[in-house]
Structure 1
Amino acid sequence: MRFEDLPDNWNTLPLDDAPLAAGVIDLVIGHHDRGRNTMLILPCDEHDVGLPAPILISDVDWLCTSHERRDAMAVLPAIASPGFVVGLSARRRLPDKVVRGWLRTIEDELDATGQALLALGVADVDTVEIVGGRAARNGSRA
């Protein structure tokens, strides 16, 4: 789903639905940010609804080592939130091996604290694909 297709009440809906999560990632990580290798961390409440406090981190080195990934994602447990939507973005689609590495690292950090990964999306200039988290398993309820 593109952000133009989001329902009017998108900000009240749980983000464990793949098309909805993709639309929200598309909305929050704009084209300019995608060209800057930006990561989105969107904390969500106990109902899996996104909080109005997205965190955008630019100039992420997607090819960093696994140790550097763990250090970067160690911030997640410090955020008082039961769940997250995370978006990885770049001008071109990130290689699957890189995406899998980030997914494993994020899952490990959140599993250790009982927090949930609602959706992991990968955005390039034209698309957003949900590749991990509850939304990837649920697909769409529509």
Structure 2
Amino acid sequence: MSFLDLTPTWTERPLTDPAVAADVVDLMISLGDRHRGTFSVVLCDPDDHYRATVMVDLPSEFEQLSRPHDTGQLCSDTLRPLIPAVQTAPGTGVILALGRPGPLRSPESDREWADAGTAICQAAGLRLLGFYVAARDGVYQPLVDQSLVDQPTAA
């Protein structure tokens, strides 16, 4: 599965389907974005249909953060300016996606990001539809721990 699997009418499908949501994350976060390190918020209407993506480049040193509170702080700093805008549209659903370099799975770091994003959304009253990680080799949900989009490795 990849963004190539999205149908021309994908914006009419709810992003509560993890396979469709992963394909959308795969579409929105390019390989270059993943290499640089980005944090994305996919905005959905009250019926969970795609509306827009806001992408924030992470500092170049984000991958070297080793203490869990650093991850939470970076996640909070990244989301803080976006939260008031999302709160102005009641019923808006969000998908959070970390685009990062490296292997598909980095369990400890990915889980810290997912836990931090989930806690921030809960505290802000945002409706979180899912948290995804997009790496060089695909997209997966660290809190579900399943690969949703695998990409062929470049030769």
Please point out which of 112, 115, 130 is paired with 2:141: 130
Higher relative CO (Cα under 8 Å, sequence separation at least 6) belongs to 1
CA distance in 2: counterparts of 1:28 and 1:71, whole angstroms: 21
Where does 1:68-107 land on structure 2 (aligned, <5 Å)? 68-80=74-86, 81=89, 82-93=92-103, 95-107=106-118
- TM-score of the superposed pair, with normalisation by structure 1: 0.81
Unaligned runs of 5+ in 1: none
> Which stretches in structure 2 are left out of the alignment for 5+ residues?
149-155
> In structure 1, what is the Cα distance between the partners aligned to 2:118 and 2:82?
10
Partner in structure 2 of residue 110 of structure 1: 121
Structure 1 consecutive aligned stretches of length 4 or more whose deviation exceeds 6 Å: none
TM-score normalised per structure 2: 0.75
| Residues 9 and 99 of structure 1: CA distance in aligned 2, closer, same or farther (over 3 Å) | same
CA RMSD of aligned residues (A): 2.2
Contact 1:39 1:89 in 2 (8 A): yes
Q: Is residue 15–residue 119 contact of structure 1 (8 Å, CA) maintained in 2?
A: no
Contact kept in structure 2, 1:76 and 1:109, CA below 8 Å: no
Sort the Cα spacing of 1:79 and 1:8 in 2 relative to 1 into closer, same or farther, 3 A.
same
* Residue 49 of structure 1: how far off its partner (Å): 1.0
For 2:57, the equivalent position in structure 1 comes to 58
- Cα deviation digits, residues 31-71 of structure 1 (max 9, x gap): 111111112111111011111x2111123424540333323
1:113 positional shift: 3.0
Matched pairs, number: 134
